[in-house]
Structure 1
Amino acid sequence: MSDAPEPRLVRATAEMVAERANVSRVAVSRAFNPGASLRADKRELILKIARELNYFPDRAARTLVSGRSHLIGVIVPDVCSYWESQEIDRLTTALQDEGFATLLFKTRTDYSMDEQLLAYMRGYNPDSVIAFVENVKPQTLTRFLDRAVPIYIDYPHPGETPLAEPGPVFDRLNILQRDGIEQAIALLQGYGVKRIAYLSGKTKSRANTARESMLCTIMAERGLEPPIRMVGDFGYEEAFQSTIDLFKVFGGAEAIFAANDVSAFGALDALRHELGLRVPEDVSVVGFDDIAQAHWKSYNLTTVKFDLEARVRALVRLILRRLNEPDAPSLEETLTTRLVVRGTVG
């Protein structure tokens, strides 16, 4: 038995694929670019030979030539929560359909991010970075990017002008929450509800503070007293306990408006299984997000909807627009919300 090492395989090159397929080197490059013009039969032949030779394009070399890495950085506060996991899944799929790969980075629990990770991100030279958290400021993030312009998801407070901040250029997807919240309050008022509690999310979340501020503004405009504030953190357990406290210590409420659907689930289960109250006969509950689980029969939750597909399409448009107009001023897309009425208000 020989102890001689096995010879190393020679790495296949684009030229080897081109020679075997009897095509040009340019045609091989086009075959690996979904948007490039190339006859379908020729693309299929090139990809087949590439698989046989175990050839893959050298991304680093392509980046040096094109200036693009086809990588998109995504900064999130959580990867396990229901909303974030569903949005990341849809966004990753949409980006892959456009020929991008995704780099995922997670913040600390306070929504800040280790600058060493930001430096690590820069090493990948992403084409764009989507920040789902506002605590990683544009002034900080842009220091660690080269040509990429970051995209922020923002929830403007009542009366706030989008894209008003001075400083480095960044793009933004604005989510206007007024329509959906106003529809929810109008529905509750239609059923005679006056005493409303707000089950909050994390205090450091701009989405939560903007949501609560908008709710207070709309309730005041409609002649209602400010909402009772319930402690929450966007999670089920905190919402469950806070709902019990609301009714056993603080006199209860006719309706609970939750900062997200998962909190609403906690409130619903506490009302039904711990407090023995009926929903919606005794207490109405409204959620926020419209995650997939909201329509499950056990919850059948009335909720303010973010259109997930529209959000993902808007983010992809911002990326493509920026790549086509790298020197353009700040770009923005704006989406609204709407109420989805199910069985927890009535």
Structure 2
Amino acid sequence: MEQERKARSRRITAEQVANAAGVSRSAVSRAFTVGAYLDKGKRTEILKVAQELGYRPNALAAGLQGEGRSNLVAIVTGSLANHYDGDVLSLLVRGLNVMGKWPVIVGGSEDMSEAEVLNVLAYPLDALILRGGSVDESVMIHCSKLNVPLIVSGRVMRSEGVDCVCCDNRRGAEIAVSELLKKGRTRLGYIGGSEHLSSDQERKAGFEFAVRRAGLLPEAIVQADYSHEGGYRLLSELIQSGCELDGLFCANDAMALGAIAAARCEFGISVPADLSVIGFDDLAMAAWPEFGLSTMRNDMEKTVSHILRMLGERLSAPEKQGEMVLIEPEFIFRNTH
């Protein structure tokens, strides 16, 4: 019984199909290769035997032997606790599947090491997509040496042969400050995410620039961890320290919603009558009636569309010049500013 179970669980090989059908191993390979020459009757017989045995060809090996591609695309991503990154990843995986590509997901934390990223380059990748994070740019050098196309998203990376699509984070922050100023807000604060992430550095720089351009000084600049809890805690600490804000820009929607919860629940501050709050990303929950969060839309559908387009074009023309796309975020007016 145990021997029968092991036999059933063992993967059927092309060699076994060839022996059962009375043909060569190469004939089995041609039977499963679109466009390969093989007598129609022989192909039909091989496919019938293969189905009876439960044989499925190795797609990775077939791809490498055919077009020289594995159809594996690595996605290096930051923390999936960030709802926006999780939503982008979901769209990206579906889009790659439609293209006939199979994602290999690496990371899931903001502080992943360069070694963790480089490990995936041991696999025969069609491309590597670097989503945000703080990975050293030496990854780009390794990709170049191995002829692995690199597409960067969520951070600006200008280099020959590297395609990049990114939200214009600095411009988005400037627009957010402008909207707060239009409401007559003058005591402005910023709650950011991780300081080592380029996206947060750009949003903070845009905030500071826009505030100073208006002849003001920032009342507060503090860093959290892109979480609801972080926004709640930091606004609570600011208020308890005597900081009297009337306008707040947060580096993502989760922190903005946390800050609003703290203002209303802990201190009885009315949003937006006493405190205007603007987030960043425009998550689905930002539009829920109980939140109605005013925010900067970081268009994830547009971002993923550009990534998939760049991938297709890069695979068709490996030597083409690198492309840089900056997507300007859109202000979404709701009920919190």
**TM-score between both structures, scaled by the size of structure 1:** 0.80
**Which residue in the other structure is 2:127 paired with?**
128
- 1:300-331: CA deviation from partner (whole Å, max 9, x where unpaired): 10000111110110111111111011122323
1:160-179 equivalent positions in 2, closer than 5 A: 163=158, 169-179=161-171
In the alignment, structure 1 segments of 5+ residues that lack a partner are: 32-45, 157-161
Partner of 1:247: 239
1:308 to 292, 300, 304: 300
CA change 1:133–1:4 in 2 (3 A) is closer
Mean alpha-carbon deviation: is it higher for 196-205 or for 210-219? 210-219
Q: Which runs of 5+ in 2 are unaligned?
A: 22-27, 36-45
DSSP-derived class of the 1:30 partner: coil
Displacement after TM superposition at 1:253 (Å)? 0.3
Q: Give the number of equivalent residue pairs.
A: 316
What's the offset of the Cα at 1:297? Answer: 2.0
- C-alpha offsets along residues 151-178 of structure 1, whole Å, 9 cap, x if unaligned? 212445xxxxx62x5xx74221132135
* CA distance 1:13–1:221, shift in 2 (3 Å): same
Who is 1:30 aligned against?
34
Aligned to 1:152: 152
Residue 185 in structure 1 maps to residue 211 in structure 2: no
- Is 1:91 matched with 2:95? no
Amino acid at match of 2:259: A
Mean alpha-carbon deviation: is it higher for 311-320 or for 125-134?
125-134
Kindly indicate whether the alpha-carbon contact (under 8 Å) linking 2:294 and 2:334 is maintained by their aligned counterparts in 1.
yes
Mapping for residues 46-85 of structure 1, pairs under 5 Å = 54-58=54-58, 59-85=60-86
Q: CA deviation at 1:182?
A: 3.6
Distance of 1:153 and 1:77 partners within structure 2: 11
Any conservation in 2 of the 1:128–1:150 contact (CA below 8 Å)?
yes
Q: What is the CA distance between 1:47 and its match in structure 2?
A: 9.8
Q: Which of 174, 197, 201 is 1:205 aligned to?
A: 197
* Cα pair distance change 1:192/1:85, threshold 3 Å: same
The worse-fitting range, judged by mean Cα deviation, of 239-248 and 285-294 is 239-248
How far the C-alpha of 1:77 sits from its partner, in A, is: 1.7
How far is 1:130 from its partner? 1.1
SS at match of 2:236: helix
Tell me the percent identity.
Answer: 23
Residues 153 and 166 in structure 2, CA contact (< 8 A), matched pair in contact too: yes
Give the whole-Å Cα distance in 2 for the aligned partners of 1:202 and 1:7: 50
Assess if the C-alpha contact under 8 Å between 1:12 and 1:54 holds in 2: no
Q: Is the 8 A contact 1:130 1:150 kept in 2?
A: yes
Q: Work out which of the residue numbers 211, 216, 220 in structure 2 matches 1:228.
A: 220
Give RMSD over aligned pairs.
3.1
Cα distance, 1:183–1:231 mapped onto 2, change above 3 Å: closer
Contact 1:230 1:243 in 2 (8 A): no
Q: Which amino acid letter does the alignment assign opposite residue 81 of structure 1? A: N
Looking at secondary structure, tell me which structure has more helix per residue: 2
Aligned CA distance change for structure 1 residues 227 and 339 (closer, same or farther; 3 Å)? farther
Farther-moved stretch of structure 1 (140-149 vs 200-209): 140-149
Q: Which amino acid aligns with 2:138?
A: Q
Aligned residue for 1:151, secondary structure, equals strand
Q: How far off is 1:80 after superposition?
A: 2.8
Question: How much does 1:27 deviate?
Answer: 7.5
- Report the CA distance between 1:96 and its aligned residue: 0.6
| Kept in 2: contact 1:131–1:152 (CA 8 A) | yes
Partner letter of residue 131 of structure 1?
A: L
1:275 has 2:264 as partner: no
- In structure 1, C-alpha distance between the alignment counterparts of 2:5 and 2:250, rounded to whole Å: 64
Residue 126 of structure 1: CA displacement? Answer: 1.2
State the alpha-carbon separation in 2 of the partners of residues 252 and 51 from structure 1: 72
Distance 2:5 2:196 in 1: 58
Question: 2:139 aligns to what?
Answer: 140
Contact 1:95–1:316 (CA<8 Å) still a contact in 2?
yes
Distance in 1 between residues matched to 2:266 and 2:5, nearest whole Å: 68
Partner of 1:340: 332
Q: Name the amino acid aligned to 2:128.
A: V
Task: Give the 3 Å change call, closer, same or farther, for CA 50–87 of structure 1 in structure 2.
Answer: farther
Residue identity in the other structure for 2:68 = G
